Amino acid sequence: MSDKLLPIMCWNVRGLNQPAKRASVCEMAKSLRATILCLQETKIDAWTPQLVQEIGRTQLTECIALPAIDTSGGAAILWNRELTTIVSHAVGIFAITAKVTLLGQSQPFWLSSVYGPADDARKEAFLRELSFSTPQPAEPWLINGDFNLFYEARDKNNLNLNRRLMGKFRQAIDTAGLKEIRCTNRRYTWSNERQNPTLVSIDKFFCNLPWECRFPSASLHAASMATSDHCPLVLADTTATPRPGKFKFENFWPRFPRFHDTVERAWNRPVQSTCAFRRLLTKMTALHGT
């Protein structure tokens, strides 16, 4: 028997130290109706109730945090306690793992949110922790986050590939019995935002077979990249896939560092069209997705 999945959002936010960034994350989670919010690279080493309230407001009032080290890294899971119960959890070096029960469901599942290291020297330690986090084969398991790894060449838009690490990542997910949940509307989740950008899919959702059988109608969508160079991902039931509201300009955006440079760079991207209206539409679309 399948269950209905309430929306789970995952996002590498590239730091939450600025009030404007916290406001942006709060607005995005609200617009996508996230029941569980998994954040990576928070850069927060000490979480307070005030900080949780600023990010989650009245909806996402509970939090488990993996503190940053010297404002580097960090992760957190926030959830709506009226719709979700978490009875146990573990915080590792790279991941948070929790036992989750959704409203109206009697059986829990395991949820892990990870932030893989950017340093290649630490990636094997990350994969070892991933293997240690694996629950018993019959228990449903969902894992998401910024893995800072990929296992297929198609997950990068150039041929600068570390095939040794790709192989180790593939071996780790195969050993754990994990299957990727493919994003339906975006191929890459991260960009270095240069003139000729490197694009990579490093933000992912995986699940094991018991979880897939329990939530067969789950679908993964990407939202606008907004205030991070990573795009937010939201996993939800296909019968009630959350959709962000219409695009609107927020007054606090110009306070972000490099705001004007980012807008100018997006506007000045080459457009291969001689039609003035199509050129304008393309440029406005580029700004929207920046």
User: What pLDDT digit, counting tens, does each position of 140-176 carry?
Assistant: 999 999 999 999 999 999 999 999 999 999 999 999 9
What's the rounded Cα separation, in Å, for the pair 249 and 234? 22
User: What pLDDT digit, counting tens, does each position of 16-64 carry?
Assistant: 999 989 999 999 999 999 999 999 999 999 999 999 999 999 999 999 9
Q: Which residues have CB under 8 Å from 194's CB, separation 6+?
A: none
User: What pLDDT digit, counting tens, does each position of 107-123 carry?
Assistant: 999 999 999 999 999 99
In whole numbers, what is the pLDDT of the chain averaged over residues? Answer: 89
pLDDT of residue 121: 95
pLDDT of residue 193: 79
What's the rounded Cα separation, in Å, for the pair 99 and 88? 6
Which uninterrupted H or E stretch holds 279?
A: helix 276-288
pTM attached to this predicted model: 0.82
Question: How many other β-carbons are positioned within 10 Å of the β-carbon of residue 203?
Answer: 24
Phi-psi region for residue 18, left (φ > 0), alpha (ψ -120 to 50) or beta? Answer: beta
Q: What is the mean pLDDT of residues 209-216?
A: 96
What's the rounded Cα separation, in Å, for the pair 22 and 36? 16
pLDDT of residue 72: 86
pLDDT of residue 70: 80
Q: How would residue 86 be classed by pLDDT, with cut points 50, 70 and 90?
A: very high
Question: How many other β-carbons are positioned within 10 Å of the β-carbon of residue 177?
Answer: 15
pLDDT of residue 206: 98
Query: Which residues are bridge partners to 205 per DSSP?
Result: 144, 181
What's the rounded Cα separation, in Å, for the pair 79 and 91? 16
Q: What is the mean pLDDT of residues 199-204?
A: 97
Task: Return contacts of 222-227, CB within 8 angstroms, 24+ apart.
Answer: 222/183, 222/185, 222/186, 222/189, 223/28, 223/32, 224/288, 224/289, 225/191, 225/289, 225/290, 226/24, 226/28, 227/13, 227/14, 227/20, 227/21, 227/24, 227/25, 227/253, 227/256
User: What pLDDT digit, counting tens, does each position of 129-150 carry?
Assistant: 999 999 998 999 999 999 999 9
pLDDT of residue 246: 53
Residue 288, both tokens: 């929207």
What's the rounded Cα separation, in Å, for the pair 247 and 288? 7
> Which residue type is seen at 184?
T
Question: How many other β-carbons are positioned within 10 Å of the β-carbon of residue 124?
Answer: 13
Instruction: Assess whether pLDDT exceeds 70 at residue 244.
Output: no
